[in-house]
């Protein structure tokens, strides 16, 4: 699977790795500008739907995405041509950011609804449920407030403190950025699985051969599983991964209808 780098894949690798080096060693503030924020965040700018995919959290995040492109990208570019591979990469990356932002709007609206419910009718049970469902976002000291408020439900100071903590959690969620080219990479993975389904790949962990179609299926099911399980301490944007798979599948399906779309 270690094929010579094709021009478009090489350029994507160079640009993405170069941006990581710049943000780590020379201009760290760029990550704050180029990461993708929730549309209600004061840090949100429309161009972030493009730039976020060239930012990465750390070396291993960068390595995993670029290694996947390095493995699967060259054969796809040889088959599809440079125009199609760049369309696939950019459309899946941008589309993943847009769909994930929509998903985030839904999640933040749920928090807003809980806060509005509490504001209209302050109730320790509502606050307790909010803390329980977002416990990973609170310090352990929150349980002192939960206990005090449960014992004194009419205390205006405790009500204000509870509402303030709820608003702080909402604001924190609004200002968590997303970075990485995983959505674009998952578009490449699904394209490879659809165009070369029976290609044998040799995994490192565990060391065994597997057909491309089964590997892509595993990634898809794994992603869907994590979306529904929704581990609150998992910082991976699984919905963005699934979005990349879906968008990539739609693109390739449309292109396959006319063989002239490929070399």
The set of residues, in sequence order, having a beta carbon less than 8 Å from that of 150 and lying 6+ positions away, is 124, 128
Q: How far apart are the C-alpha atoms of 105 and 116, rounded to whole Å?
A: 16
Task: Check whether 59 has a pLDDT greater than 80.
Answer: yes
Q: In this predicted model, what pLDDT tens digit does every residue of 167-196 receive, in sequence order?
A: 999 998 899 999 999 999 999 999 999 999
Q: In this predicted model, what pLDDT tens digit does every residue of 199-232 receive, in sequence order?
A: 887 766 667 778 888 888 887 777 666 655 655 4
Q: Are 34 and 52 in contact (CB under 8 A)?
A: yes
Q: How far apart are the C-alpha atoms of 101 and 26, rounded to whole Å?
A: 29
**DSSP assignment of 140-185, as one string?**
TTHHHHHHHHHH-TT-HHHHHHHHHHHHHHHHHHHT--B--SHHHH
Q: How far apart are the C-alpha atoms of 249 and 205, rounded to whole Å?
A: 26
Task: Check whether 252 has a pLDDT greater than 90.
Answer: yes
Query: For 204, phi and psi rounded to 5 degrees?
Result: -85, -40
> For residue 104, how many C-alpha atoms fall within 13 Å in the half-sphere facing its CB?
24
Q: Exposure of 47 by Cβ count < 10 A (0-12 exposed, 13-18 middle, 19+ buried)?
A: exposed
Q: How confident is the model at residue 77 (pLDDT cuts 50, 70, 90)?
A: very high
Model confidence, pTM: 0.87
């Amino acid at each position: 699977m270690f094929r010579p780098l094709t021009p478009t894949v090489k350029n994507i690798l160079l640009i993405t790795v170069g941006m990581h080096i710049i943000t780590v060693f020379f201009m760290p503030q760029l990550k704050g500008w180029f990461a993708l924020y929730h549309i209600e965040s004061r840090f949100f700018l429309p161009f972030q739907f493009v730039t976020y995919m060239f930012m990465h959290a750390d070396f291993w995040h960068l390595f995993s995405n670029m290694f996947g492109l390095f493995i699967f990208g060259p054969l796809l570019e040889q088959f599809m041509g440079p125009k199609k591979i760049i369309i696939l990469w950019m459309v899946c990356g941008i589309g993943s950011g847009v769909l994930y932002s929509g998903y985030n709007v839904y999640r933040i609206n749920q928090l807003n609804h809980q806060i509005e419910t509490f504001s209209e009718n302050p109730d320790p049970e509502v606050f307790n449920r909010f803390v329980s469902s977002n416990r990973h976002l609170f310090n352990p000291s929150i349980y002192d407030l939960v206990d005090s408020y449960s014992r004194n439900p009419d205390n205006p100071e405790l009500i204000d403190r509870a509402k303030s903590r709820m608003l702080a959690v909402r604001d924190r969620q609004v200002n968590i950025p997303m970075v990485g080219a995983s959505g674009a990479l998952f578009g490449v993975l699904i394209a490879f699985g659809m165009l070369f389904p029976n290609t044998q790949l040799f995994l490192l962990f565990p060391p065994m051969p597997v057909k491309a179609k089964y590997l892509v299926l595993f990634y898809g099911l794994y992603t869907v599983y994590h979306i529904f399980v929704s581990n609150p301490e998992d910082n991976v944007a699984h919905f963005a991964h699934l979005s990349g798979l879906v968008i990539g599948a739609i693109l390739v399906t449309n292109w396959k209808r006319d063989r002239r779309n490929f070399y």
